[in-house]
């Protein structure tokens, strides 16, 4: 018995396809076609789709093919607001609960991010981004509140694509570096108020940046490669 890795495996594959843009927002995910494509039956694929739906990456529609989610600006902002609340709580708890080793690990991630941030280009951007995500994930875990860490991870996953588009920008990278550093300092001094404030600033800036990105997309060309449904 395999504890159903297949469904999780398929979900992982679809996830990556979505995040890297191979599956564009709005694209349908027909469980029949995809099933034969991947050489598996509908049953596990079906489960995979449900998993992604729970994560918010695909939308289930009654009596229609599920489609890759194409969140509106409002939806993204809504999500970031929740993420902000979760992450502030994480940071505050981490000040109390985290071990020195955990904080050191967070600092390490921050420094690796810093080192890569200045030079990264092309495929290395994905690595840069993954370190960024790992940084935030590490803080959530340092809260020693598994439920919180899990929910936080779910929100992070949900916004992978949007955050990726944002994080890749040169201009944003500069800001992110100093803000991460500030957060780490707050953790090292075990100052919940400061950590909370820094995280607040960090994610508020993210909202601003994402808003700008959306406006860019509206006006100029479509970054997502599929036009077919933008109003």
Query: Where does this chain bind DNA (CB under 7 A)?
Result: 1-7, 28-33, 40-44, 46-47, 63-66
- Whether residue 96 contacts residue 186, with contact meaning beta carbons closer than 8 Å, is answered with no
Q: Select the span of 107-115, 145-153, 173-181, 209-217 touching a copy of itself (CB under 8 A).
A: 145-153
Q: What angle do CA 76, 12, 88 make, to 5 degrees?
A: 40
- Of 79 and 137, nearer to a copy of itself (C-beta) is 79
Residue at token pair 């890759």: 68
Residues binding a copy of itself: number (CB under 8 A): 26
Tokens of 129: 């981004």
- Region from 22-30, 75-83, 113-121, 192-200 binding a copy of itself, contact rule CB under 8 A: 75-83
Which one, 28 or 56, has the nearer CB to a copy of itself? Answer: 56
* Residue of 50, 175, 194, 212 that binds a copy of itself (CB under 8 A): 50
* Residues numbered 179-208 forming contacts with a copy of itself, rule: CB under 8 A: none
Find the binder of a copy of itself among 121, 147, 219, 220 (CB under 8 A).
147
Minimal distance in Å, beta carbon 47 to DNA?
7
> Is 79 one of the binding residues for a copy of itself (CB under 8 A)?
yes
Which window, 71-79, 124-132, 162-170, 193-201, contacts a copy of itself (CB under 8 A)?
A: 71-79
Regarding beta strands 64-68 and 58-61, do their DSSP bridges make them parallel or antiparallel, or are they unpaired? Answer: antiparallel
Task: Say which entry of DNA, a copy of itself, none residue 6 contacts (CB below 5 to 8 A, set by partner kind).
Answer: DNA
Strand, helix or coil for residue 208? helix
Q: CA 155, CA 153: separation in Å to the nearest integer?
A: 5
d(Cα 228, Cα 184) in Å, to the nearest integer?
44
Interface with a copy of itself, residue 58, by CB under 8 A: no
Which of 83/128 has CB closer to a copy of itself? 83
Residue 151 in contact with a copy of itself, rule: CB under 8 A: yes
CA distance 69 to 187: 35
Question: How many CA atoms lie within 13 Å of 86's alpha carbon, on the beta-carbon side?
Answer: 23
Q: What would the two tokens of residue 83 be?
A: 């993420």
Nearer to DNA, 52 or 159 (CB): 52
∠ CA 164-227-154, rounded to 5°: 35
Report how far residue 163's alpha carbon sits from residue 160's, in angstroms, rounded to the nearest whole number. 5
Distance in angstroms (rounded) separating the CA atoms of residues 181 and 68: 35
Question: Which partner in a copy of itself, DNA, none is near 42 (CB below 5 to 8 A by kind)?
Answer: DNA
């Amino acid at each position: 018995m395999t504890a159903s890795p297949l469904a999780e495996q398929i979900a992982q594959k679809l996830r990556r396809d979505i995040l890297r843009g191979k599956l564009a927002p709005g694209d349908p995910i027909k469980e029949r076609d995809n099933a034969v494509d991947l050489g598996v039956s509908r049953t596990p694929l079906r489960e995979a789709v449900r998993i992604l739906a729970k994560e918010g990456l695909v939308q289930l529609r009654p009596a229609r093919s599920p489609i890759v989610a194409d969140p509106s600006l409002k939806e993204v902002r809504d999500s970031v607001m929740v993420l902000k609340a979760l992450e502030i709580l994480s940071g505050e708890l981490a000040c109390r609960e985290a071990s020195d080793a955990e904080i050191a690990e967070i600092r390490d991630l921050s420094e690796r991010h810093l080192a890569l941030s200045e030079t990264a280009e092309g495929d290395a951007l994905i690595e840069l981004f993954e370190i960024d995500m790992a940084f935030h994930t590490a803080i959530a875990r340092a809260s020693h509140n598994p439920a919180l860490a899990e929910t936080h991870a779910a929100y992070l996953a949900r916004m992978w694509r949007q955050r990726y588009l944002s994080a890749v920008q040169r201009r944003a990278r500069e800001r992110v570096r100093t803000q991460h550093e500030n957060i780490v300092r707050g953790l090292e001094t075990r100052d919940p108020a400061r950590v909370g404030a820094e995280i607040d600033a960090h994610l508020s800036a993210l909202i601003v940046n994402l808003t700008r990105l959306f406006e860019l997309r509206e006006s100029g060309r479509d970054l997502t490669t599929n036009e077919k449904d933008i109003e």
